[in-house]
Amino acid sequence: MKRALLFLFIIALLPLGSALAQDMPHAGAEIVATYMQSGTYDIGAENIEAAFEEATGIEIELVASPWAVLNQNHITDLTTGTGEFDVMSGEFWIASVWDKMLPLEEFVERDEYGGDFIPTIWQPGPSGHYDGKRIGIPYSADAYGIVYRTDIFEEAGLSADWETWDDYIATLDALAMHLEGTDIAPSVFSWGASEQTPMIFLGMYDGYLVDADGNYALDEAPALDSLNKMASLLDYNPEGAAGLSIDEANSVFLTGNAATMICWVSFMRAAAQNPDSSLIVDNWAVASFPGPGFPFISAWNLFISEYSEEPDAAWEWVKFYINSEQATQRFVELGVGSPYLSTYEDPELMERYSHDFPGMVDNLSRAQSVPWVFEAFEIFFRNTSELVIGSISAEEALANTLSGWSEVTVPPALVQSAAAQGQQQDM
């Protein structure tokens, strides 16, 4: 009798077990995903780890590392074919191993994945591509911008609708006259964080970054003009600005001692809205980043290693982490810029961030990544930093950069990225 009842019980459970198997086709799989140790992207992953495991039956291990360690771990793992990491969080800094990333187009098409990404973010450059195939899915989107004091601009009868850097500089001249006799500077920037100076150059420069033969290069005349113009901005900053870090520059603006700031908006947004850390809570807004160049973008992607033994399970994590709902939540809770239009079209958020969203979306819609491996980036920012403090001239900064770049090979993936974004010299 007991055996018969047990048999009937097992039979009764079979449909339920079958349903569970269908709902959790990858149950039991184990994957490893990496993130930068930033207190944002990694925290966003930790916040949904348990929900993901419960929903899919997939066990995930999250590995967070500092930026330099993260990049080196990825390069070593993919170069050696170790396959330690299934899902990798990265940007163009690791493009030398993009050929070892799994093409994702089959997954994207199968699951009709994509949604309402900001078009430029979903395209090659911000979104990882190699040999014409999608290999990365962007999960963040932070573009360089300019924030300004709305109260000061109103008092001075000025607008922040500049289109070019000449327009912005003309506004700084007007601010200098209006603010004469005060302790408020027309502008502030983190000049002491030398790796940030190229962001201004890229906004000013209208030329190629890779030549027709696929080598790092610059169009010399517009490059010299942009270098000199970039260095001239220091004159509008407060005393001692040449040594300011990002946090220190943010502090100058948040304490009301600058009328404008060139910055990563995501690095100051939360503090600016907090009365405990800001004296300008209701008196700031985001303006468009001037041209004719482009706003530099930080668009972190998730990649799947071609050495992953569980690519389907890895893709499940990519979808679970990167979607419009999660992106909006990370924006609200952690200040991470969202790559989805729906975040910036949410009625409640549009009202809450009415001073922020129009400028933010405009900058994101024009933003581009650069085709620089870190070695090329370092050569450039080291020389622009010396230019700013007056150690070398613009001509020397350009000559030093081009000389250093002659020893650096551009990975094929970044030549392709440059071409896709209009950054390669015409053939």
**If DSSP states are collapsed to H, E and C, what string results for 365-419?**
HHCECCCCCHHHHHHHHHHHHHHHCCCCCHHHHHHHHHHHHCCCCCCHHHHHHHH
Per-residue pLDDT band for 403 (boundaries 50, 70, 90) equals very high
Structure tokens at 54: 């419960």
Which residues make beta-bridge pairs with 65? 36
Per-residue pLDDT band for 4 (boundaries 50, 70, 90) equals very low
Contacts within 8 Å (CB) and 24+ apart, 150-157: 150/283, 150/284, 150/285, 150/355, 151/280, 151/283, 152/178, 152/179, 152/184, 152/259, 152/283, 153/259
**Structure confidence by residue, pLDDT tens digits, 32-83:** 999 999 888 999 999 999 999 999 999 999 999 998 899 999 999 999 999 9
Q: Average of pLDDT values for 22-35?
A: 89
pLDDT of residue 336: 86
**Structure confidence by residue, pLDDT tens digits, 342-385:** 999 999 999 988 898 889 999 999 999 999 998 999 999 999 99
Q: What is the mean pLDDT of the chain?
A: 92
More confident residue, 11 or 374: 374
Residue 3 has pLDDT above 80, yes or no: no
* Omega before residue 311 within 30° of 0, cis: no
Q: Average of pLDDT values for 186-196?
A: 95
Residue 105 CB coordination number (10 Å): 12
Per-residue pLDDT band for 273 (boundaries 50, 70, 90) equals confident
Under a CB-based contact definition with an 8 Å cutoff, are residues 156 and 180 in contact?
A: no
Q: Do domains 20-141+299-345 and 144-296+370-420 have the same CATH topology?
A: yes
> Is domain 20-141+299-345 in CATH 3.90.850.10, yes or no?
no
> Is domain 144-296+370-420 in CATH 3.40.190.10, yes or no?
yes
Q: What angle do CA 322, 33, 414 make, to 5 degrees?
A: 75
Round to whole Å and give the CA distance between 31 and 63: 11
Under a CB-based contact definition with an 8 Å cutoff, are residues 376 and 408 in contact?
A: yes
More confident residue, 26 or 305: 305
Under a CB-based contact definition with an 8 Å cutoff, are residues 295 and 363 in contact?
A: yes
Residue 9 has pLDDT above 50, yes or no: no
Listed in sequence order, the residues at least 6 apart from 175 whose beta carbon sits closer than 8 Å to its beta carbon are 152, 156, 158, 186, 187, 236, 259, 260
Single-letter code of the amino acid located at 368: Q
Round to whole Å and give the CA distance between 344 and 347: 8
Give me the residue spans of the domains in the chain: 20-141+299-345, 144-296+370-420
Round to whole Å and give the CA distance between 98 and 135: 8
**Structure confidence by residue, pLDDT tens digits, 238-262:** 999 999 999 999 999 999 999 999 9
More confident residue, 5 or 149: 149
Listed in sequence order, the residues at least 6 apart from 395 whose beta carbon sits closer than 8 Å to its beta carbon are 224
Residue 19 has pLDDT above 60, yes or no: no
Residue 128 has pLDDT above 60, yes or no: yes
Residue 18 has pLDDT above 80, yes or no: no
Q: What percent of the chain has pLDDT over 90?
A: 83
Per-residue pLDDT band for 156 (boundaries 50, 70, 90) equals very high
First to last CA, the chain: 85
Per-residue pLDDT band for 420 (boundaries 50, 70, 90) equals very high
Under a CB-based contact definition with an 8 Å cutoff, are residues 186 and 176 in contact?
A: yes
Under a CB-based contact definition with an 8 Å cutoff, are residues 294 and 370 in contact?
A: no
- How far is CA 356 from each of CA 310, 352, 422, rounded to the nearest angstrom? 41, 9, 28
Contacts within 8 Å (CB) and 24+ apart, 64-69: 64/34, 64/35, 64/36, 64/37, 64/38, 65/34, 65/35, 65/36, 65/37, 66/36, 66/37, 67/36, 67/37
pLDDT of residue 22: 56
- How far is CA 224 from each of CA 19, 60, 204, 262, 350, rounded to the nearest angstrom? 66, 50, 11, 21, 40
Residue 270 has pLDDT above 60, yes or no: yes
- The region, left, alpha or beta by phi > 0 then psi within -120 to 50, assigned to residue 240 is left
Residue 1 has pLDDT above 50, yes or no: no
Residue 2 has pLDDT above 70, yes or no: no
Residue 323 has pLDDT above 90, yes or no: yes
